[in-house]
Structure 1
Amino acid sequence: MEDKSIEKRFNTFIIVVSILIPVVVAILFGVKLKEFGYNVEPLSFLPPIYATINGVTAVVLVAAVLSIKDGRVALHKKLMTIAISLSIVFLVMYVAYHMTSESTKFGGEGIIRPIYYFILVSHILLSVAVIPLVLISYVRALAEKFDTHKKIAKITFPIWLYVAVTGVVVYLMISPYYVN
């Protein structure tokens, strides 16, 4: 019975966070601190850092899956906590960059342009979709509902991995167009 109450206690939190994060990010994406009188330098050094964080997150996710398949539960828990922490750090840096810098326009032409936008749009949409999936997976693990945790984790993992990898790809594709 305790397991069910853990899940129930977190349901509202999961819903609120899953809605709040994308809404707040979208709002803050349009906020430029200079427009509010803050004299801040653009944080132009952040994109390669948060792209690297995405890459590290992808590696950590794969390591976490391999560790659980090998029965190393404690290592899996640590790696998943690291992956969640990296995603939070990424999000803070991403928002900070966009609050201090103008958005960079993709300058590629030809067939690469629709490829870039497909990757970008799928990355953005899935980054929103993965939030509740990660939270539900995490809470089910906390509640020791490993049968349902495993079912949702099988959906969550490839989406989260795609978001992490395409974050790096998007950065690599747009990086030639950043203005320093």
Structure 2
Amino acid sequence: MNNQDPVLDDKKYNKLIVALSIIIPIVVFALFSVKIPNVEPLSFLPPIYATINGLTSVILVIAFIAIKKKNRVLHENLMTTAIWCSALFLLMYIAYHITSDSTKFGGEGAIKYVYYFILLTHILLSIVVIPFVLITYVRAITNNFEKHKKIARITFPLWLYVAVSGVIVYIMISPYY
């Protein structure tokens, strides 16, 4: 256990959280214009990273249930696993997009607007959730549980939406790969 003031411990992570919250979206956006020449497209990745998003969703829900049942160790392990799943998703997503052309949605009519609404909110919230996840995690590892609980109430639904909407986006666009 940490015997130091948790608020002081939180602050030492702030610069890293801000840096990652800015750098990750910028790098992902920049890599969309990068294509590695003469490399076989990694077209097998979308169903894998969609599955990882689905797994992240399940892990988040089980972790939520675990903490409600006061099973802190299980909750901690599941949340760490969810973070690793999200990081693995991001690496695969980047690898796919630097080796493959983006797939265009081919649906017509109202479903097209539904797809783009889900895609847009997924993208925007995937950027917004980064600092929330990092702050929530830091507050947990620094034993600042009161502040952790407060922000987790925001982080959980955001992260869950991003994970679930990622699966929905994949399902909707998969016929056009």
Q: TM-score, normalised by structure 2?
A: 0.97
Structure 1 residue 6, shift from structure 2 partner: 1.4
Deviation of 1:69 after TM superposition, in Å, equals: 0.4
Matched, 1:126 2:125: yes
State the match for 1:42 in structure 2. Answer: 41
Matched, 1:15 2:18: yes
For 1:84, the equivalent position in structure 2 comes to: 83
What is the aligned partner in structure 1 of residue 141 from structure 2? 142
- In structure 2, what is the Cα distance between the partners aligned to 1:97 and 1:124? 16
Q: Distance in 2 between matches of 1:139 and 1:147?
A: 12
In 2, Cα distance between the equivalents of 1:68 and 1:99? Answer: 38
Aligned residues: 174
Q: Which position in structure 1 is the counterpart of 2:58?
A: 59
- The aligned amino acid for 1:33 is I
Mapped to 1, the partners of 2:169 and 2:33 lie a distance apart of 20
Residues 1:26 and 2:29 aligned together = yes
| Secondary structure at the counterpart of residue 105 of structure 2 | coil
Following TM superposition, by how much is the alpha carbon of 1:30 offset from its aligned partner in structure 2, in angstroms? 1.4
For 2:33 and 2:58, the matched residues in 1 are separated by 31
Deviation at 1:29, TM superposition (A): 1.5
Q: Letter of the aligned partner of 1:145 in structure 2?
A: N
What is the Cα deviation at residue 89 of structure 1?
0.2
Where does residue 96 of structure 2 map in the other structure?
97
SS class of match (1:42):
coil
1:69-112 CA deviation, whole Å, 9 max, x = no partner?
00000000000000000000000000000000000000000100
After superposition, the C-alpha distances for 1:29-81 in whole angstroms (9 at most, x for unaligned) are 110011xxxx2100000000000000000000000000000000000000000
Structure 1: 4+ residue segments shifted above 4 A: none
Which secondary structure state, in structure 2, belongs to the residue aligned with residue 33 of structure 1?
A: coil
Amino acid at match of 1:166: S
RMSD of Structure 2 on Structure 1 (CA)? 0.7
Tell whether 2:75 aligns with 1:72.
Answer: no
Aligned-partner Cα distance in 2 for 1:79–1:30:
34
Partner-residue secondary structure (3-state), 1:154: helix
Structure 2 distance, partners of 1:5, 1:153, is: 19
Whichever residue aligns with residue 24 of structure 1, its letter is V
